[in-house]
Chains A and B, each alone.
Chain A
Amino acid sequence: MIRIRKLIAESCGQSILVCASFLCLIAFCLPSCAEVKPYQKNRLNDSEMELSARKCQKFEQSFQSYREGASGANGDKSGGGCGCN
Chain B
Amino acid sequence: MKKISLAVIGMYVSVLSAFSQNPAAKDTSYKNRRLKIDEINFVSGYYRQNGNNSAVTGGIGSEKLTDFANTLELKLIKYDHKYHKHTFTGELGADTYTSASSDKIDPVTISSGSKDDTRIYPSLSWNVLNEQKNRTFGAALSYSTEFDYKSVGAALNFAKTSKDKNSEIAIKLQAYLDTWRVIYASELRPPHYGTGAIGGGPVHYTPRNSFSASFTFSQVVNTQLQVLFVLEPTYQHGLLATKYQRVFFNDDSERSETLPDDRFKLPVGLRANCFFGDNFILKSYYRFYIDNWGLKAQTIELETPIKITPFFSVSPFYRFYSQNAVDYFAPYSEHKVSEIYFTSDYDLSKFTSHFLGAGIRIAPPKGVFNIKQWNSLELRYGHYIRSTGLHSNILSLHVKFK
Interface residues of A (CB under 8 A from B): 3-4, 7-8, 10-12, 14-15, 18-19, 22-23, 25-26, 29-30, 32-38, 40-41, 43-44, 46-51, 54-60, 62-64, 66-74, 77-83
Contact = CB atoms under 8 A, between A and B. Distances in A.
A80 B392 CA distance: 23
B210 A79 contact: yes
A60 B296 CA distance: 21
Nearest to B325: A69
27 contacts: A8-B233, A11-B265, A11-B266, A18-B290, A36-B223, A43-B224, A44-B226, A44-B275, A48-B283, A49-B281, A54-B359, A56-B378, A56-B379, A59-B394, A67-B386, A69-B291, A70-B323, A73-B231, A74-B269, A74-B299, A77-B174, A78-B265, A80-B174, A80-B178, A80-B209, A81-B121, A83-B146
A15 B175 CA distance: 22
Contacts of B263: 7, 79
A26 B73 CA distance: 35
A49 B275 contact: yes
B326 A69 contact: yes
B138 interface: no
Contact of B313 (A14, A18, A48, A50): A48
Nearest to B304: A48
A55 to B, nearest CB: 5
B41 A73 contact: no
Contact of B396 (A60, A74, A80): A60
A82 B142 CA distance: 11
Contacts of A58: 43, 45, 71, 396
A59 B69 contact: yes
Contacts of B287: 70, 73-74
A68 B353 contact: yes
A82 B226 contact: no
Nearest to B285: A74
Contacts of A11: 264-266, 290-292
Contact of A70 (B69, B217, B299, B384): B299
Given A33-B221, A41-B223, A15 B268 contact: yes
* A contact face: mostly helix, strand, loop, or mixed: helix
Contacts of B49: 63, 67
Contact of A72 (B165, B212, B262): B212
Contacts of A56: 43, 359, 378-380, 396-398
Given A69-B347, A82-B119, A4 B398 contact: no
A73 to B, nearest CB: 4
Nearest to A75: B230
Contacts of A80: 151, 153, 174-176, 178, 208-210, 212, 236
B235 interface: yes
Nearest to B390: A67
